[in-house]
Amino acid sequence: MSESGLQEGDPAPDFAMPASGGREVSLGALKGSPFLLYFYPKADTPGCTKQACGIQEALPQLGRLKLTVVGVSPDALPPIEKFAAKFGLEFPLASDADHQVAERYGVWVEKSMYGKRYMGMERSSFLVDAEGKVARVWRKVKPEAHAAEVLKAAGSLSSGA
């Protein structure tokens, strides 16, 4: 159905990436508790800022649900660090500069702007349960509404466990 074939119930593809604050994020380290892996096109752009700030505001509630959040973009670490510092983002923002992780999750896609076609990151999110299975997939995410959608889905995930 989806281009990548990654569906709810599938095992989350493996990853390991450098992240803001000198951190490293990986599937292995996150397994055992639920997490949200959200892919965004570019640090410090209007939509990405709205989305990141919405998630930052929801962090206390997400934390109560024991949900870890990781943002992923194709940016190098210096612009990611600057973005995290500028908006006080506490959750890790990972650099997928070679877009290998985005390709595994099926979110490195052909895009079009002003008639020009190019490859880029599709704004998508994956809620992964404690067993490492994809519990929820959001494609072409609306930045303004995303934090609320994640909270709702994460709440049902923890109550279903």
Catalytic residues: 48
Segments in the chain forming alpha helices (H): 27-30, 46-64, 77-87, 100-104, 146-160
Let me know: does 118 contact 30? Beta carbons within 8 Å: no
Which tokens sit at 153?
A: 């889905």
CA-to-CA distance for 7 and 106, rounded, in angstroms? 11
What value, to the nearest 5°, has the Cα angle with vertex 59 and ends 37 and 124?
A: 25
CA-to-CA distance for 98 and 105, rounded, in angstroms? 13
With both helix axes pointing from N to C terminus, report the angle between 77-87 and 46-64 in degrees, rounded to the nearest 10.
70
Q: Which of 111, 113, 112, 54 is nearest to 87 (CA)?
A: 54
Instruction: Output phi, psi for 16, to 5 deg.
Output: -155, 125
